[in-house]
Amino acid sequence: MTDSPLLIADHDAVRVVTVNRPDKLNALNAATLDALHDAFEAIAAEPAVRVAVLTGAGPKAFVAGADIAEMSGLSAVEGRDFSQRGQRTMRRIETLPKPVIAMVNGFALGGGLELAMACHLRIAADSARLGQPEVNLGLIPGFGGTQRLLRLAGRAAALELCLLGAPIDAARAHQLGLVNRVVAAAALEAETMKLAAQLATAAPLALRGILDCINSGGECGIEEGLAYETAQFGLAFSTEDMREGTAAFLEKRRPSFRNR
C-alpha cells in the first residue's frame, strides 16, 4: 500500500520493518501503531520469517516519540484509549515468538524508546539519543515506558529518565542496559543484519522457548519460573531440531534446523 506508514522488506528469513514518516521524525500516530501491530501479527504467522528488524526511515530518528499533534487535543478518555492502543502494539512485539531487533538509528524518545524496549535486542548507533521526555509535556510515559524501564534498567535509572525527561546518549544507554550494543552509525545496518542473519540460522523452536521463558519468568517468582523452564526444556527433546542439533555437534558439522 502506497499510503502505509511502514516499509516492509524481506532479506531471506529476516523481515525488516521500517517506520516511514521521516518528515515527522517517524512519530507514532494511531495509524502507525495499528500498522505496526498488524505487521508483527503477520510476522508471527509466517513460518518463513524467523527474525524481525525494526527501524525508522531517514538519518535522524528511529522514532522520535508519539505524534504530539495528534495527542494534543485528546480528552482524558481518548488519552487512555491511545495509551491502550500503544500498549497493545508494544505487547504484540514483546511477546512475538521470534527475535525482534531494534536498529536504533537516531532519536528514540518517548514512544520511540518504548517501542525499542518492546523489542528483544537493541543495537544503537553511537549518535543515537534515547529518553522519556513526557514530563516536559505535562505527561507520563503511556506505552509501557515506566514498566519496561524499571525491568530493563532498574528503579534508579527509570526514575532518572522519567522524572528528569532529559535524553541520554547511546553510551550511557548501553551502561544502563537499555541497549545491547553500540556501533558506529555507518556500520549500524551491516552489524544489525549480521546479527539478524545469525539468529535466522538458529533453532526456531529453541529461540521461541527462550523468549517464552524469559518473558514469563520476568513476571513470576523464581520457583514458578524454574518450573516453567524445566517444562520447556523437556518439550525441546520432542523436536527434530534438538536431534539435529545434538547430532551435528557430535558429528562436528553445522546443524540445519527445520523448525520442527
Q: For residue 243, give the C-alpha cell.
A: 536431534
The residue assigned the cell 538519518 is 59
| Greatest extent of the chain over all pairs of C-alpha atoms, in Å | 64
Query: Buried b / exposed e across 177-207, counting CB within 10 Å, b at 16+?
Result: ebbeebbeeeebbebbbebbeebbebbbbbb
Q: What is the DSSP letter of 251?
A: T
**Distance between the two ends of the chain, CA-based, in angstroms?**
34
Indicate if 160 belongs to the active site: no
Alpha helices in 74-187 (DSSP H): 76-94, 111-118, 145-153, 155-164, 170-176
Indicate if 114 belongs to the active site: yes
Could you tell me if residue 147 is left (phi over 0), alpha (psi between -120 and 50 degrees) or otherwise beta? alpha
Catalytic residue among 41, 46, 78, 134: 134
The residue assigned the cell 518492546 is 118
Catalytic residue among 94, 114, 244, 251: 114
Residues taking part in catalysis: 114, 134
